[in-house]
Amino acid sequence: MSTSATPAGPAADASSTAIRHGTPAFHRTNLALFAAGLATFGLLYCVQPLMPQFSHDYGVSAATSALSLSLTTGVLAFAMLFAGALSDAVGRKSVMAASLLSSAVLVLATALVPDWHMLLVLRTLLGLTLSGLPAVAMTYLSEEMHPDSIGLGMGLYIAGNAIGGMGGRLVAGVLADYFGWRVGVATVGGIGLVSALLFWASLPPSRHFVRQPLHLRSLLARFAAMFRDAALPWLFATGFLLLGAFVTVYNYIGYRLLAPPYSLSQTLVGAIFSVYLIGTFSSAWMGHLAGQLGRRKVLWTAFALMLLGVALTALTSLWLIVLGIVAITFGFFGGHSIASSWVGRRAGASKAQASSMYLFSYYMGSSLAGAGGGLFYASHGWHGVAAFVGALVLAGLLVAWRLYRVPPLVNVATPPTPTSQGAMP
């Protein structure tokens, strides 16, 4: 009896100390990660509604103006490959807190720079400092949340991302209309500082984290093992296509709506970004639905909804364009919630590396597709952008179909280690 009970002991202990919904620890964790998502996505995307103004003030094209975001997400993508390994050695909470604080300071500095090239330098550095939060937050949730609660926890974290992305765009866009873009960017930076302090005060310490020294050979072995898994490479492609399509729409829709025949003000264009609030519902709802019905059965609906939204934005009615943006936003956040939680459950002992690789692909989609969309806008206007985004979403539907055919995982992709206690395959 003793020999059969021994293996079950650590797993049972980990499960009993995991964070479950309805507990004070769950509420504190969600408050902290909501603040982190709010700050991260506000700091990252506050420049998006300002791109037409950058084009006007600095005399640069739409594609060049998009570098203010594409450079950030490109560096962010590469840096996150190492952020997870750094958190394995240093600890989850300290890496995330340092990331938030330094990023807020950089955005405040961005509001003071005198020229375009210095702005791009600071936005590039921002990609480096922000890298310590997204991948590590996913890893923290995968380690600390009970399997019954991780879908809801991940969905609520992504809901914070949605409000942060909406708030950063809305605050920067509206304030830019009345006081100039520098005031808008500085305000977002100040909100980031407050969020960093709230995060540090609220997040419970890690209980299932096991420190792992940085060993390049073992790190490379974990990355290689992920690509032998039947689902993880397709999930990485899912992240690339989801954010690539989503960011491209938001990068260039402002150019269309500020120009005739719509001629909207910067404030009204910024207000359209309030549809991000849809993401606070869709991420939690679709994440929970996927937990009930199965991720394979729900993921494709996110891409189908995005495709419908892209088609609506190609029409001329302003209300149908806005409805299309709503559909794209709903599908994007729901799809990201499903895919990101799926990665954590699939990765076993390599959660940090799998999260980093997923987010590497995710932000490379933003960087490459977001910049490439400017070429289609320059040559064919909005309809060129819509065709480009439609192709990305169609590719996403094919990937979702491929994932539907992947059988459920029985054993994790890498041999079990102490960091996988309590984790489900």
Cα–Cα dist 258/255, whole Å: 5
Cα–Cα dist 158/180, whole Å: 30
Task: Give CATH for domain 21-205+218-420.
Answer: 1.20.1250.20
Q: 268: burial class by Cβ within 10 Å (0-12, 13-18, 19+)?
A: middle
pLDDT at 212 (0 to 100):
65
pLDDT at 6 (0 to 100):
41
pLDDT at 210 (0 to 100):
64
Per the listing, tokens 């949730």 go with 141
pLDDT digit string, tens, across residues 322-340 = 999 999 999 998 999 889 8
Does residue 415 register a pLDDT over 50?
A: no
Cα–Cα dist 219/66, whole Å: 34
Question: The whole model's pTM is what?
Answer: 0.72
pLDDT at 121 (0 to 100):
96
CB proximity list for 249: less than 8 A, separation 6 or greater: 310, 313, 325, 328, 385, 389
Structure tokens of 71? Answer: 């450079």
Contact 93, 203 (CB under 8 A): yes
CB proximity list for 74: less than 8 A, separation 6 or greater: 127, 363, 364, 367, 368
Q: 166: burial class by Cβ within 10 Å (0-12, 13-18, 19+)?
A: buried
Per the listing, tokens 């996913």 go with 138
Cα–Cα dist 301/401, whole Å: 11
Average pLDDT over residues 117-138: 90
Check residues 348 and 370 and name the one with the higher pLDDT.
370
Does residue 417 register a pLDDT over 60?
A: no
